[in-house]
């Protein structure tokens, strides 16, 4: 089983970026934790980050036929990107939306996700644990 983890804008700054909201773990720390969690499942993980919407769209398109599940923290693009939503719908790979923070409990502009309707489900509000829970969710989605 192959899982593609994609991270959107500003997530490269985790660890120093608003730690009260996003925690002290860096994206590299989280990647290491994801790989550890994936190991017993024998799941292969590819873990990427981009600040560019188009690059994320390209990665989603290229995932067709190569990955079984996508785990996406689209960051701010969650709330704005029709292009990401269309890419997910186009490739038809089961996609899990994740967030470190509980976006439903934050500013009103974060309460709307344009990608949610084309994802199989959401995990939000558990900090770095949202990523680790997503490994388990990806395994269960793939077993369906």
Among 101, 114, 133, 142, binds ligand DQA (CB under 6 A): 101
- Separation of alpha carbons 87 and 39, rounded Å: 28
Q: How far apart are CA 39 and CA 71, in angstroms?
A: 16
- How is the beta sheet containing 121-124 ordered, strand by strand? 44-49, 2-7, 69-73, 95-99, 121-124
Determine whether 52 is an active site residue: no
Quote the least distance from Cβ 102 to ligand DQA, whole Å: 8
Known catalytic residue: 99?
yes
Q: Which is nearer to ligand DQA, 10 or 26 (CB)?
A: 10
Whole-number Å distance between alpha carbons of 88 and 91: 6
Q: According to the binding rule CB under 6 A, does residue 71 interact with ligand DQA?
A: no
E strand or H helix that includes residue 138: helix 129-143
Q: Which of 52, 99, 131, 132 is catalytic?
A: 99
**Count of CB atoms within 10 A of residue 29's CB?**
14
How many residues interact with ligand DQA (rule CB under 6 A)? 10
Nearer to ligand DQA, 65 or 108 (CB): 108
Query: Closest distance between ligand DQA and the C-beta of residue 9, in Å?
Result: 7
Residue 4 and residue 71: Cα distance in Å, rounded? Answer: 6
CB of 99 to ligand DQA, least distance (A): 4
Contact residues: ligand DQA, CB under 6 A: 10, 73, 75-76, 78, 99-101, 103, 110
């Amino acid at each position: 089983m192959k899982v593609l983890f994609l991270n959107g804008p500003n997530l490269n700054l985790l660890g120093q970026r608003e730690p009260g909201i996003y925690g002290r773990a860096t994206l590299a720390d989280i990647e290491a934790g994801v790989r550890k969690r994936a190991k017993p499942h024998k799941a292969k993980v590819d873990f990427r980050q981009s600040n560019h919407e188009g690059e994320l769209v390209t990665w989603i398109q290229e995932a067709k036929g190569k990955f079984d599940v996508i785990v996406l923290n689209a960051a701010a693009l969650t709330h704005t990107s029709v292009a990401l939503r269309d890419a997910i719908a186009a490739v038809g790979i089961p996609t899990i939306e994740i967030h470190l923070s509980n976006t439903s409990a934050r500013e009103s502009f974060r309460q709307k996700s344009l990608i949610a309707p084309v994802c199989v489900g959401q995990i939000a509000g558990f900090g770095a644990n949202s990523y680790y829970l997503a490994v388990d969710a990806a395994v269960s989605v793939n077993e369906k």
